[in-house]
Structure 1
Amino acid sequence: MTPTLQDRQDIANLMTGWIHRDLADWDGLRELFHPDGRIEVTWFEGPAGDFVDASARMGASDFRTKHLITAPVVTFSADGTRAVSETNAVIIGENVRLELGANGHNRFIDRIERREGVWRIVDRKSVYDFASFTFPAGLVEVDKAALAAYPREYGALAYLLDVSGFPVQRVFATKGSDLERTIKQSAHDWLEWKDEA
């Protein structure tokens, strides 16, 4: 089945639909995922529904985020029911109490499935390219030893999450890493239904 322009638009809408998170529209955010959807990002791994609930708790804290999302690069399965997209994003975070912020550049690797005519995300993972601190009210001291515990590609973002009470518990994929290659190969295999073999 050949993908239509509508299929591509529906998937693009899922990507830009991340604005629901920034606007604290938790029902809208939940609708981006199939009920069995999962997500893995620096501060959360697990069911997408639990991620939405955790995002609501984050939204009520001193930590604020905004996401700038680009158009996705989408590849469809031969039967047109699955797609994998790679989408550039900028994560802008700030802890208003600590007056410390960070910008993180990442790419979302999404597995997307059309069920009963509706495209939704079934799996979202993130690959981190680089990050830097921002200082909204002037320079703030950063613990360089604590920062060094994280890969440079997302160190500033992870540090900010950690001091805000949302710890990063493991190493995540960075540009050119073995983890990135594994994520992409696994997504490609899923697209070709090799996960069903």
Structure 2
Amino acid sequence: MPQEIMDRLAIRDLIENWAVWRDAGDWDRFRTVWSDDGVMQATWFQGIADEFIRVSREGFEKGVNILHFLGGTSIDLKDDRAISQTKMTISQRGLVEDVLCDVVCTGRFYDFIEKRNGQWRMILRQPIYEKDTVNPVDPSEQLLLDTDLLEQFPVGYRHLAYMQSRIGYVVKKDMPGLVGPQVEALYRRGENWLAGASL
């Protein structure tokens, strides 16, 4: 099998393992998808992979319910570096104004992935948040949101941010969306990194 095809299969496997092992709470195997200096950027967390694993595990054990579902993947490959974009949804269940709700956010995982010592590992994961919605689990319940709080967050993840802020997370308010300067800067960063620039 040509090396490029093997590399693409390994990268796709890495991306799928991230979602399955993280959502299942398989923390030892989840650590293996990251490089030693891996970094996670999310609405509620920005930092090194080891810390992300720790706080994710703590939340999992307390019943925080965040799940991921993956769609198609596009991979730009250059030697031992790759930028992958994977369609995804983030689904979080929790209380919003005392109503049990599901928030579903659609977007892409934008990943900086590098082959080190023969193994592909995630260097940086930056989600792109495109649109989201919130719905009561029991459709007969009425949900009333604080519009002032809701409008503090970008349109691509405002309901997700609303829920997360209500349960105590400090939410980053300038994450990349479908369009805008943040996502354009991310694309440039990815292009530069593939061309040999450092992160």
Q: TM-score, normalised by structure 2?
A: 0.91
SS at match of 2:156: coil
Using the TM superposition, give the Cα deviation of residue 64 of structure 1 relative to its aligned residue in structure 2, in angstroms.
Answer: 0.4
Runs of 4+ in 1 over 4 A off after TM superposition: none
Distance 1:83 1:28 in 2: 21
Using the TM superposition, give the Cα deviation of residue 187 of structure 1 relative to its aligned residue in structure 2, in angstroms.
Answer: 1.1
TM-superposition CA deviations, 1:14-45 (whole Å, max 9, x none): 11111111111111221111010111111110
1:40-59 map, 5 Å:
40-59=41-60
Using the TM superposition, give the Cα deviation of residue 120 of structure 1 relative to its aligned residue in structure 2, in angstroms.
Answer: 0.6
Using the TM superposition, give the Cα deviation of residue 63 of structure 1 relative to its aligned residue in structure 2, in angstroms.
Answer: 2.7
Distance 2:63 2:144 in 1: 18
Distance 1:62 1:147 in 2: 24
Distance 2:107 2:180 in 1: 13
Given the superposition, is the C-alpha separation of residues 61 and 147 from structure 1 closer, same or farther in structure 2, using an over 3 Å criterion? farther
After TM superposition, the structure 1 stretch with the greater mean CA deviation from structure 2, 31-40 or 135-144, is 135-144
Q: What is the one-letter code of the residue matched to 1:86?
A: Q
Corresponding residue for residue 12 of structure 2: 12
After TM superposition, the structure 1 stretch with the greater mean CA deviation from structure 2, 25-34 or 117-126, is 25-34
Corresponding residue for residue 165 of structure 2: 162
After TM superposition, the structure 1 stretch with the greater mean CA deviation from structure 2, 181-190 or 96-105, is 96-105
TM-superposition CA deviations, 1:120-177 (whole Å, max 9, x none): 1001111110000021023332222111110111000111111122220332111111
Given the superposition, is the C-alpha separation of residues 33 and 24 from structure 1 closer, same or farther in structure 2, using an over 3 Å criterion? same
1:82 aligns with 2:78: no
Distance 1:3 1:148 in 2: 48
1:141 aligns with 2:144: yes
Distance 1:161 1:136 in 2: 17
Contact 2:39–2:124 under 8 Å retained in 1: yes
Using the TM superposition, give the Cα deviation of residue 60 of structure 1 relative to its aligned residue in structure 2, in angstroms.
Answer: 2.5
Q: What is the one-letter code of the residue matched to 2:131?
A: F
Aligned length: 193
Distance 1:146 1:163 in 2: 10
Contact 1:62–1:95 under 8 Å retained in 2: no
Using the TM superposition, give the Cα deviation of residue 98 of structure 1 relative to its aligned residue in structure 2, in angstroms.
Answer: 4.5
SS at match of 1:153: helix
1:177-188 map, 5 Å:
177-188=180-191
SS at match of 1:72: strand
Given the superposition, is the C-alpha separation of residues 147 and 113 from structure 1 closer, same or farther in structure 2, using an over 3 Å criterion? same
Q: TM-score, normalised by structure 1?
A: 0.92
Corresponding residue for residue 68 of structure 1: 69
RMSD over equivalenced CA pairs, Å? 1.7
* Runs of at least 5 residues in structure 2 that lack an aligned partner in the other structure: none
After TM superposition, the structure 1 stretch with the greater mean CA deviation from structure 2, 172-181 or 160-169, is 160-169
